[in-house]
Structure 1
Amino acid sequence: MNMIKRTPSMFVPNTMDKFFDKFFNEGLENGANTFNPRTDIAETEKSFEIEVAVPGFNKKDFNIDLNDGLLTISGERKFEKEKSEKNFYSIQTEYGSFKKSFQLPDNIVSDKIEASYENGILSLVIPKDETKKLVSKITVK
């Protein structure tokens, strides 16, 4: 079997699905240096939970902002060549930057949001304000 040497490039997708995901979600102009990590969003009785799969990052690589109810999570992972100058035959790890934004509902406690990073998963727990209810019953007259 012959191996083909490849150089790292975020623009060359390894599947057509990934190409279309990058095209429609990020556009061509940003596709070369960005990626879209997988994200899970859940709701419990007391909080909203967001998990972002970003293996290989350090805690200091993340920036999390909340501005007028818009939660923005961003980060960057740079490709670093070792001094041994390895010959890569396949690179499937995603490098570059990412940015994800989520519009949060009005019933959150913004100063109690917690973020942690463990085993490649960035987890955010956004507690709900139990005094604010977003559901109300409207009577028809």
Structure 2
Amino acid sequence: MVDQASRMQPTKSTSPTPLKVVAATDLLARVQRLRDSVARRAYEIFESQGRTFGRDLENWLQAESEFLHPVHVDVAESDDGLTVRAEVPGFRGENLMVGVEARRLTIAGKREAEEERRNEKTIYREPCSDQILRVIELPAEVVAGKAAATLRDGVLELKMPKAAPAKKIIPIGPNMA
């Protein structure tokens, strides 16, 4: 028998947060697209290393980390140029490479952390390294030679002036009517 005091106590409802249910086929399609993207990137890495065999797993893991841990960026456009801010915590300027083309920006970096401990006997040590790569299609054509980059507090900022729109003169042929 339930006593009166326990019946009068308010119960705290802890309803779970609703989750979006996605059809299994949609989820499988997303996973397949991610896998295909990783495979394409792993092949690009393979080609960029001079088609060196025996590094398949390393290439795959690097490509996977680029997709699963991407560089977060903000792209802002003004009348005269583009500003891109990218989060690259832990990277120094000498660890980064920035490539600017007319409508594409590439940010790549590699760092290796060596921690030196004195007065301790090392039992086990794993070298720590991190690589990033982000290729961004820009919303406007820029002048690559005038791009400027700064790195402060783990944020890479790039300022790129927009290219002047190309003027195209179209000749009008004789009227054939």
Q: Quick one: which of 58, 63, 71 aligns to 1:37?
A: 71
Q: Quick one: which of 125, 132, 137 aligns to 1:98?
A: 132
Structure with a larger share of its residues in strand: 1
Same amino acid, percent of matched pairs: 25
Q: Which residue of 2 aligns with 1:47?
A: 81
Unaligned 5+ segments in structure 1 are: 1-19, 86-93, 134-141
Provide the C-alpha distance between the structure 1 equivalents of 2:81 and 2:101, rounded to a whole number of angstroms: 19
RMSD: 3.6
SS class of match (1:96):
strand
Distance 1:37 1:112, change over 3 A: same
Amino acid at match of 1:55: P
Tell which deviates more after alignment, 64-73 or 36-45.
Answer: 64-73
Q: Which residue of 1 aligns with 2:143?
A: 109
Provide the C-alpha distance between the structure 2 equivalents of 1:72 and 1:102, rounded to a whole number of angstroms: 6
TM-score (norm 2): 0.48
Provide the C-alpha distance between the structure 2 equivalents of 1:99 and 1:69, rounded to a whole number of angstroms: 17
Q: Which residue of 2 aligns with 1:80?
A: 114
Provide the C-alpha distance between the structure 2 equivalents of 1:128 and 1:41, rounded to a whole number of angstroms: 13
Q: Is the 8 A contact 2:81 2:159 kept in 1?
A: yes
Amino acid at match of 1:118: R
Structure with a larger share of its residues in helix: 2
Deviations 1:7-46 (A, max 9, x none): xxxxxxxxxxxxx9xx937569225765422111111121
Q: Is the 8 A contact 2:103 2:141 kept in 1?
A: no
Does 2:159 correspond to 1:125?
yes
Unaligned 5+ segments in structure 2 are: 1-29, 40-56, 121-127, 167-177
Provide the C-alpha distance between the structure 2 equivalents of 1:119 and 1:106, rounded to a whole number of angstroms: 28
Tell me which structure has the larger Cα radius of gyration: 2
Amino acid at match of 1:73: I
Provide the C-alpha distance between the structure 1 equivalents of 2:84 and 2:146, rounded to a whole number of angstroms: 14
Provide the C-alpha distance between the structure 1 equivalents of 2:141 and 2:135, rounded to a whole number of angstroms: 18
Between the two proteins, the alignment pairs up a number of residues equal to 107
Of structures 1 and 2, the one with the larger relative CO (CA 8 A, separation 6+) is 1
TM-score (norm 1): 0.58
Amino acid at match of 2:61: N
